[in-house]
Structure 1
Amino acid sequence: MDKKESFNRICQNKVFLLETLSVEAEIILQHVQQAGIITMREYGNLSDIPQREKRVISLLDKLMGKGEETCRRFIELLRKDDILEIFPLLKDHAVISSPANPVRQYKIAQNPRGTCVIINNVHFATLKERIGSDLDQKELAKVFHWLGFEVVVHRNKTAAEMKNLLEGMGKTVDGDCFVCCILSHGIKEGVCGTDENVISVDEIREPFNGINCQRLIGKPKLFFIQACRGKRNQNRVQVQADSSEDGESEMEVDGDDFDITIPADTDFLIARSTTDGHLSYRDLKEGSFFIQSLCRKLKKHCPEGEDILTVLVHVNNEVSSQGIICKQMPVHEVAMRKKLVLLPP
């Protein structure tokens, strides 16, 4: 079992516990004190908090601050019949379940966590300028810096420069996790450089596999790609297409259309802004649907202990509901062996 299994359960289910236990905040405090999990003085201090929601959140924070053993005792308390009678929503919930083979988590302990590289192609030889992409770059840099990553930004790279840059990083990058964000025009075969030549997803991923990047063996490697994956689009005001074949379209589609399968290499996650054959949309004043949603959901759910795949489901749900005429569905390819939780340091 993970050495922080109980701590992580409370962290990941904090919102649920807050909503459930706040109904009878004083009763759960009494049971926790009677079980010797908190002292009488701590019980008194918590009881003095006027709002029951704040009382419960303070209790959860205190338990987590005491460490794994205290968290384990608290979860054992929640499993008792008298507690389940008072809080029936706890029954069959993941927070108190006892899976025979729980999914382990990647160890994310270093600070900085690792490197987040952002490649932002805005200006091209003949293709339309990707107006609004700088907003994506700014928000990505802010969020991943907040999550504890060293952020490195590169702008306006040709396909060859992108390939050389990634190959160079594969030889030197280190840390508990690696993140690569690529913002560009795209076609079915891959992502466009500023010279309109194409780099495939395999060429983007390959420098970081276990053969070429031994420092990241067994560590999570995340790729977020905002680029078109085809020509199919539905025009809408103030939207442009990031396709090299979109002509005069004012729709910005940031999709990448590469035929990617789950790589044989492990610990990879490749999240793409749109499905095969479709455009990916970018608002000229607010940034792309996918990247902006990704940043919002990371800021909201990472502090709650949600794993990255669950965060991406939230992103999929939000992006797929955006637009009246234009529709977009992000997708991701997963070759992960464990859960990845990115708590802000």
Structure 2
Amino acid sequence: MDFQSCLYAIAEELGSEDLAALKFLCLDYIPHKKQETIEDAQKLFLRLREKGMLEEGNLSFLKELLFHISRWDLLVNFLDCNREEMVRELRDPDNAQISPYRVMLFKLSEEVSELELRSFKFLLNNEIPKCKLEDDLVNKSLLGKIEDYERSSTERRMSLEGREELPPSVLDEMSLKMAELCDSPREQDSESRTSDKVYQMKNKPRGYCLIINNHDFSKAREDITQLRKMKDRKGTDCDKEALSKTFKELHFEIVSYDDCTANEIHEILEGYQSADHKNKDCFICCILSHGDKGVVYGTDGKEASIYDLTSYFTGSKCPSLSGKPKIFFIQACQGSNFQKGVPDEAGFEQQNHTLEVDSSSHKNYIPDEADFLLGMATVKNCVSYRDPVNGTWYIQSLCQSLRERCPQGDDILSILTGVNYDVSNKDDRRNKGKQMPQPTFTLRKKLFFPP
């Protein structure tokens, strides 16, 4: 199909709601006044061609538009592209031609419920003509008003990081109100999203993200009393780097510790137990080490009970985190057994190096108290796999999933379910082994990490 025919065919598939969404996403290139005469997608494409945004041999902007309005069928059928390819492409902000702020506003407008819509109509009674308030597209009108304000001299200061610095105004209050109501996907079984169903995630930084990264186990090997001779954990620095990058993008304050003994791990967590988390929304601790049933090992080969480590942050012991999510990601074996899988030669990824494991009965791993989430790399009694070059299966999948799915508005449990699926599909070719991560939680609300 030639260039012109392709644009025509795509335009024929786009309805009025699609067109309204595309016009909003194109406001940086085609202002409001010039959009007034655009009544169909063909005219929109013509304006984009005039602006140099659509050219034969370069349809990247059109692909990005279709991706954001979820018309993945058109990407596949006409542009030889798919959703997964676009996710990978747009992971690099330099490849995006639509501003993240505009995409955020568009997503908010798509998520407005009927109850929220009625609230907006009331708030906008003096800002938007009544004839437009009676229209179901009032959310688009609201975005238009925000856009008018955004184009003022303070436009460049308007960002997700610094919106509170803007001078107060009616429109700014409306914008903040909209973000407050809509900063996470609405519940499937409810018209509204209220604070009693979603954990607050508004502070900057969100909280501390501790990364305890154990690589060098020479101390354990030197101890003649140790029954297990633990190898150094090659590849763990890749996990540390991925976790640091991922949670920094999600607005956490990264604090990392390398090669900690069991006693040092306890001391670190005791320190953060007594820290003031009053102006924080969440606490995250990632431990990368060798492990066994219910424990992780320090670099001295001594055990640290996972239950004891998580118990530092109960409501009674750490009041400033009471009612807030406490999240632990543990990359360590929980035994020495191998999970066996059915061989499927066509599904194996060719390895040019040997996989390693992080192994060398306690209580439950988390306290019997609300607001905890423990993400274990593997189920009890089994090993977890680490690639000496690329890092562990679990942490690498976790970080990739968080980077891809948090901007899409997915909650943490949905993301961890996807991580389970991804890791369970990997194979240890040498031992025909499998790995199944295991989340355990006492969360009471939905947990989102808005980027």
- Residue 377 of structure 2 corresponds to which residue in structure 1? 273
Report the residue type matching 1:178 in the other structure.
F
Structure 1: any 5+ residue segments left out of the alignment?
1-21, 79-93, 245-256
Q: Deviations over 1:294-318 (max 9, x none)?
A: 0110011000010000110110000
The 8 Å contact of residues 282 and 326 in structure 2, kept in 1 or not, is answered as yes
User: Higher mean Cα deviation, 228-237 or 103-112?
Assistant: 228-237
User: How does 1:280-299 map onto structure 2 within 5 Å?
Assistant: 280-299=384-403
User: How does 1:229-308 map onto structure 2 within 5 Å?
Assistant: 229-233=334-338, 238-244=354-360, 259-260=363-364, 263-308=367-412
- Residue 200 of structure 2 corresponds to which residue in structure 1? 107
Is 1:152 aligned with 2:255?
Answer: yes
Report the residue type matching 1:106 in the other structure.
Y
- Residue 16 of structure 2 corresponds to which residue in structure 1? 27
Report the residue type matching 2:285 in the other structure.
C
- Residue 122 of structure 1 corresponds to which residue in structure 2? 215
Q: Deviations over 1:186-233 (max 9, x none)?
A: 011400011111111111111111011111111111100001111113
**Distance change >3 Å, CA 118–CA 44, structure 1 → 2:** farther
Partner SS, residue 283 of structure 2: strand
Give the root-mean-square deviation of aligned CA atoms: 3.6
Query: Which of 1 and 2 has greater Rg?
Result: 2
User: How does 1:18-97 map onto structure 2 within 5 Å?
Assistant: 24-29=13-18, 48-49=44-45, 51=62, 54=65, 57=69, 61-64=104-107, 72-73=116-117, 77=136
Alpha-carbon distance, 1:26 to partner = 3.5
User: Aligned equivalents of 1:341 and 1:32: distance in 2?
Assistant: 25
The 8 Å contact of residues 258 and 276 in structure 1, kept in 2 or not, is answered as no
Q: Deviations over 1:120-165 (max 9, x none)?
A: 1111121210001011011101111111110000011111110011
- Residue 252 of structure 1 corresponds to which residue in structure 2? none
Partner SS, residue 172 of structure 1: coil
Is 1:333 aligned with 2:440?
Answer: yes
User: Aligned equivalents of 2:446 and 2:186: distance in 1?
Assistant: 16
Identity of aligned residues (%): 36
1:313 to 417, 435, 445: 417
The 8 Å contact of residues 25 and 53 in structure 1, kept in 2 or not, is answered as no
Alpha-carbon distance, 1:44 to partner = 5.5
- Residue 234 of structure 2 corresponds to which residue in structure 1? 131
* Corresponding pairs, count: 293
User: Aligned equivalents of 2:423 and 2:292: distance in 1?
Assistant: 21
TM-score by length of 2: 0.58
Report the residue type matching 1:142 in the other structure.
K
The 8 Å contact of residues 290 and 315 in structure 1, kept in 2 or not, is answered as yes
Report the residue type matching 2:445 in the other structure.
K
The structure with higher relative contact order (CA 8 Å, sep 6+) is 1
- Residue 167 of structure 2 corresponds to which residue in structure 1? none
User: How does 1:214-229 map onto structure 2 within 5 Å?
Assistant: 214-229=319-334
Alpha-carbon distance, 1:27 to partner = 1.8
1:197 to 275, 299, 302: 302
2:246 to 143, 153, 164: 143
The 8 Å contact of residues 176 and 219 in structure 1, kept in 2 or not, is answered as yes
Partner SS, residue 398 of structure 2: helix
Alpha-carbon distance, 1:65 to partner = 6.2
Alpha-carbon distance, 1:171 to partner = 0.7
Structure 2: any 5+ residue segments left out of the alignment?
1-10, 49-61, 70-97, 119-134, 138-184, 222-229, 341-350
